[in-house]
Amino acid sequence: MRRTWGLIAGIAALVASGACAQVPDIWPVEDDGVFIPGSMEKVGEGYNFTEGPVWDGARVIFSDISGDTVYMMIPGETPRVLYTPSFRANGHTFDRNGALLNAEHGSGELTRWTPEGGRVTVVAAYQGKHLNSPNDVVVRSDGLILFTDPPYGLNSAYNGVQRAAEVGFNGVFAFDEASGRMVLIDDALGRPNGIALSPNEATLYVSDSASNKVWAYTLAAAGSASEKRLLADLAIEGKPFPVDGLRVDSEGRVFATCPAGVCVIAPDGTRVATLELPIRASNVGWARPGLSDLYITSGTEVWKVSTRARGIGSSIKP
């Protein structure tokens, strides 16, 4: 343990001082019962801003938002382009048929992409007003689509396009594609971002990047939500990066990107583990056979760490 912390301190000092222009390809991990020491490694680099890792059973799919490209990566191989342009796609998931769903900053739409049919709009408006810039998305086992809609892609040539806001708030929505019914879950979060479901799908989790908090909601069958409650406040003094994407494991623990790196939160709100990182983590996704590897997007890079957890959720192709 002493050698590990000595290495962490040495690398951190180099990063903080600017003497190290590039983070090492392997990063030490404390044995906290969740993350496995010696398993953290960089698996991709050279992008603009990576996001939205998901697993299709053989490949990790992720976005480079400002690079306007979606990539695929077979573990152990170099990432390759899946499709471009991506309309500044951010988060991804899969529908019940296994097609890729995309939250797009540039278009302000949720879309579906397949190799055969290309890109098709799923939903672009609420009550006749164009959405802001969908950020992340999850699908319930009955096909209900839940997504966040902050303003990051508005008035931004980097992460989106210059469009005027129409909806008038930053929302969390449920969308029943079969009926076209849209339900507004919450319009009071500053920057709704990551979104995930508990193992029994009765609880919806949403992160708010503006406050560094993760919220929980009781989710009804029709897509409405009630009993909004604070799951965790992950603000850390001296750490500037915001809470962002999140996933859930089979024990119901929430793995949320946080100011420290990746924070693991029990269903009762207790933080049970923290993966300290020298870089901003933007999102996470389960992958590999056994679904115990966690892929982490982080600015220009993609990282992988092994865990003692087992992932669930629609970041995994059904």
- Residue 91: inside a domain, yes or no? yes
Alpha-carbon gap, residue 108 to 39, rounded angstroms: 37
- Residue 128: inside a domain, yes or no? yes
Tokens of 305: 């760490």
Domain limits for position 270:
20-306
Lowest-confidence region among 50-59, 107-116, 230-239:
230-239
Alpha-carbon gap, residue 142 to 200, rounded angstroms: 12
Q: For the domain that residue 52 is a member of, what is the CATH number?
A: 2.120.10.30
- Residue 278: inside a domain, yes or no? yes
Tell me the per-residue pLDDT of 284-317, one tens digit each, with 9 for 90 and over: 999 998 899 999 999 899 999 999 999 998 788 8
- Residue 80: inside a domain, yes or no? yes
Tell me the per-residue pLDDT of 101-157, one tens digit each, with 9 for 90 and over: 999 999 999 999 999 999 999 999 999 999 999 999 999 999 999 999 999 988 776
Lowest-confidence region among 53-62, 216-225, 270-279:
270-279
The count of structural domains within the chain is: 1
- Residue 313: inside a domain, yes or no? no
Alpha-carbon gap, residue 70 to 106, rounded angstroms: 13
Q: Say whether pLDDT at 160 is over 80.
A: no
- Residue 11: inside a domain, yes or no? no
- Residue 315: inside a domain, yes or no? no
pTM, to two decimals: 0.91
CA atoms in the 13 A half-sphere facing the CB of 57: 6
- Residue 261: inside a domain, yes or no? yes
3-state SS string for 217-250: EEECCCCCEEEEEEEEECCCCCCCCCCCCEEEEC
Averaged pLDDT of the chain: 90
Tell me the per-residue pLDDT of 237-284, one tens digit each, with 9 for 90 and over: 778 889 999 999 999 999 999 999 999 999 999 999 999 887 899 999
